[in-house]
Amino acid sequence: MEILEIIKNRRSIRKFKEDPIAKDIIDKLVEALIWAPSAGNLQSRKFYFVFNEQLKKELSKAALFQTFISKAPLVIIGCTNERISTRYGKRGRELYTICDVAASIQNLMLLAHSEGLGTCWVGAFSEKNVSKILELPKHLRPIAIVPVGYPAHIPNPPKRCSKEDAIKFII
Amino acid sequence: MEILEIIKNRRSIRKFKEDPIAKDIIDKLVEALIWAPSAGNLQSRKFYFVFNEQLKKELSKAALFQTFISKAPLVIIGCTNERISTRYGKRGRELYTICDVAASIQNLMLLAHSEGLGTCWVGAFSEKNVSKILELPKHLRPIAIVPVGYPAHIPNPPKRCSKEDAIKFII
């Protein structure tokens, strides 16, 4: 698949098959996360790969009871890492480390789609509850939950705004 | 190129050739930005494509005099859009819209690399000065500057932290 095809055909998947994900694909997901760029190459991010059924259920409760999350064989939680990002001060903690995590997650979603896997970027959840469930150390802040699994339903592409609205050219 | 190859071989490019970028490739860059996911599909982001020599010079000054920025034929500025993101309140303004922009930029960088173009994600700049240079409306906040052009020098890959440091598995 051409990269632009991967980018355009990726959808947010909210219904998963039970099929597990093979070890070699998990390894690729890890590589995709690690090789995203980061501010000053500090890589101020950390990812939790949750396969545990009980924890997945608790995570979906913490995400406003979006139960589809727990149905995915793998749930990834992306965290900023304040111990590292603070090297760039307030801007590091409030901007760079979020971008570090987000760039990794976008890599992950594209890689997953190219392998026939579905993902969904979930941002609406209680950070406090997720931190408690995963027993996160204080310097890690969970900012995204991404269930990963084989899609049981692929929705139609949602509308995108026009190029004119998205981009301004200055010649 | 396989997507994992694109992800792993992309480098931060800080030296560009003068060669312009063809119109059809610019179009692909635009598509890559637009088709990134966003919180609630609100797409709370806007991108400026700057080709103007004088403005590029001013932008590189606003970015702590990183002069390589102005040498790229195209400089893209990624902005959060507070008018839209505020629909999700504080979390929308301080988290979701940043992720919306970052996901787009990661798409852009991968697409660019697959076309033989180089990019560099620049976060260190004066938002106030960039806003003034581009005459941004108040609801747009510039959070990333990305020069785009054909690489004149490709650096070695910087070190990445180990899989064990980056990921925690919970079985």
Among the partner-chain residues A34, A102, A161, the one whose CB lies closest to the CB of B160 is A34
User: Looking at residue B118, what is its pLDDT?
Assistant: 98
B4:A31 CB<8 A: yes
Mutation pick from B5, B7, B8, B53 vs chain A, by most beta carbons of A within 10 Å, is B7
Is A161 part of the contact surface with chain B (CB cutoff 8 Å)? yes
Above 80 in pLDDT, residue B7? yes
User: How does DSSP classify residue B46?
Assistant: E
Segment (H or E) for B95: none
CA distance, residue B35 to nearest chain A CA (Å) = 6
User: Looking at residue A91, what is its pLDDT?
Assistant: 98
Q: For the whole model, what pTM was predicted?
A: 0.98
User: Looking at residue A10, what is its pLDDT?
Assistant: 98
**Rounded to an integer, what distance in angstroms lies between the CA atom of residue A143 and that of residue A99?**
11
Q: How does pLDDT run across B154-169, given as a tens digit for each residue?
A: 999 999 999 999 999 9
Displacement of CA B111 from its chain's centroid (Å): 12
Segment (H or E) for B12: none
Segment (H or E) for B71: helix B68-71
Fold of B14-151: NADH Oxidase (3.40.109)
Is B103 part of the contact surface with chain A (CB cutoff 8 Å)? yes
From chain A residues 28-47, the ones with a CB under 8 A of any chain B CB are 28, 30-37, 39, 41, 43, 45-47
* Torsion, Cα of B136, B138, B139, B140 (10° steps): 30
Per this entry, what is the length of chain B?
A: 171
* Portion of chain B with pLDDT greater than 70, in percent: 100
User: Looking at residue B20, what is its pLDDT?
Assistant: 98
In chain A, which residue's Cα lies nearest the Cα of B25?
A4
The predicted complex's ipTM stands at 0.98
Among the partner-chain residues B8, B46, B168, the one whose CB lies closest to the CB of A35 is B8
Q: How does pLDDT run across A13-61, given as a tens digit for each residue?
A: 999 999 999 999 999 999 999 999 999 999 999 999 999 999 999 999 9
User: Looking at residue A170, what is its pLDDT?
Assistant: 98
Under CATH, domain A3-155 is a member of which superfamily? Answer: NADH Oxidase (3.40.109.10)
Q: How does pLDDT run across B125-136, given as a tens digit for each residue?
A: 999 999 999 999
Is B126 part of the contact surface with chain A (CB cutoff 8 Å)? no
User: Looking at residue B34, what is its pLDDT?
Assistant: 98
B43:A161 CB<8 A: yes
CA distance, residue B70 to nearest chain A CA (Å) = 14
Q: What are phi and psi of B165, to 5 degrees?
A: -75, -30
User: Looking at residue A1, what is its pLDDT?
Assistant: 77
User: Looking at residue B149, what is its pLDDT?
Assistant: 98
Is B155 part of the contact surface with chain A (CB cutoff 8 Å)? no
Quick check: B146 and B109 in contact, CB under 8 A? Answer: yes
Above 80 in pLDDT, residue B1? no
User: Looking at residue B150, what is its pLDDT?
Assistant: 98
What DSSP string runs through chain A?
--HHHHHHH--B---B-SPPPPHHHHHHHHHHHHTS--GGG---EEEEEE--HHHHHHHHHHTTT-THHHHSSEEEEEEEEHHHHGGGHHHIIIIIHHHHHHHHHHHHHHHHHHTT-EE--B--S-HHHHHHHHT--TTEEEEEEEEEE-BS--PPPPP---HHHHEEEE-
Crossing angle of helices B23-34/B97-114, nearest 10°?
150
Average pLDDT, chain A: 98
Report the pLDDT averaged over residues B33-39: 98
Rg for chain A, CA atoms, rounded: 17
Q: How does pLDDT run across A31-42, given as a tens digit for each residue?
A: 999 999 999 999
Instruction: Say how many C-beta atoms besides its own lie within 10 A of residue A133's C-beta.
Output: 22
Q: What are phi and psi of B140, to 5 degrees?
A: -100, 130
Quick check: A123 and B99 in contact, CB under 8 A? Answer: yes
Q: How does pLDDT run across B43-88, given as a tens digit for each residue?
A: 999 999 999 999 999 999 999 999 999 999 999 999 999 999 999 9
Quick check: A106 and A7 in contact, CB under 8 A? Answer: no
Quick check: B81 and A166 in contact, CB under 8 A? Answer: no
User: Looking at residue B90, what is its pLDDT?
Assistant: 98
Beta strands A74-81; B45-50: pairing state: unpaired
Low-confidence ranges of chain A (pLDDT < 70): none
Name A82's Cβ contacts closer than 8 Å, sequence gap at least 6.
A44, A93, A97, A139, A140, A141
Name A112's Cβ contacts closer than 8 Å, sequence gap at least 6.
A29, A118, A119, A148
A3:B121 CB<8 A: no
Cβ-Cβ contacts under 8 Å, B46 against chain A: 166-168
